[in-house]
Amino acid sequence: MEKRLWNHVLTVRRQAPLVQNITNFVVMNNTANALLAVGASPIMAHAEGELADMTQICQSLVINIGTLDEHWFESMLQASATVRRAGKPWVLDPVGAGATPYRDHAISQLLAMRPTVVRGNASEIMALAKSNHNATKGVDSTAASIDALDAARFIRKQYGSVVCISGEADIVVGEDQPVYIRNGHPLMTKVTGLGCSATAIIGAFLAVVEHTEEAVSAAMALLGVCGELAVAVSNGPGSLQVNLLDKLYNITDDEFITKLRIAYEA
């Protein structure tokens, strides 16, 4: 399994997929740099006037609702509808799900477009499934990833999406047994937007890897392993941000395969 996921990393580097991002102001630069580091080509475009043309040339779409407003939401709806008709993959990051009725209404309309993948923290995933017993604290999770497993299965059944729950263990929920990836480090939570970067990297892998669950697993494994390796040479969140980009760019097969902790569990 580890070797197969590494081959997907190489495929992204070799094919350099073009990934369209309608994302939030806070993380736009981070997201673009993360995509470049893994070998993909980012386009950060959200103007309604060019969306039809843009989605034709891009291989996948990333939608992140972090700094949601009415104009961007219309672009999100238009872009997701276009890629769905074209049969291209797209990933939804429901940042802050459960925080406000406005945000939840927007998410429900985007879910109706049947995203290929939904990635969020445990509280967000639980809010999507209307089973959020723990409050969402801004964009941070107040629940463990395992707590959202039933909610993820509900979303999978309802919308056909592969669901990725980010947390101390990242859990990928699809047709088969859930995949648990136990990499990463707590210091990564002190760098804004790393979850958003994870979603964008998933978008890159979706563009070139046919098997969706493997694409998500490879993307999350890459970020988690690189995060651990970067923390080992960092003095804090500032240097971690730089070192993580470097490691996404120069990680070796030996580092990836040796460090990766992945398992299938019921």
Residue-level pLDDT at 139: 45
Q: What is the pLDDT of residues 228-266, one digit of tens each?
A: 999 999 999 999 999 999 999 999 999 999 999 999 876
For position 135, what pLDDT does the model report?
A: 41
Residues 119-136: tens digit of each pLDDT: 999 999 999 987 433 444
Q: Sign of the CA dihedral 163, 104, 85, 29? A: negative
The residues, any chain, with a CB within 8 Å of residue 20's CB and separated by 6 or more, are 43, 45, 54, 55, 58, 60, 61, 62, 79
Q: What pTM does this model have?
A: 0.93
Query: Which pLDDT value is given to residue 9?
Result: 98
Query: Which residue stretches of the chain have pLDDT < 50?
Result: 131-141
Provide the H-helix boundaries in 16-100: 28-38, 48-57, 70-86
pLDDT on residue 134: 42
Strands 162-166 and 170-173 come out as antiparallel
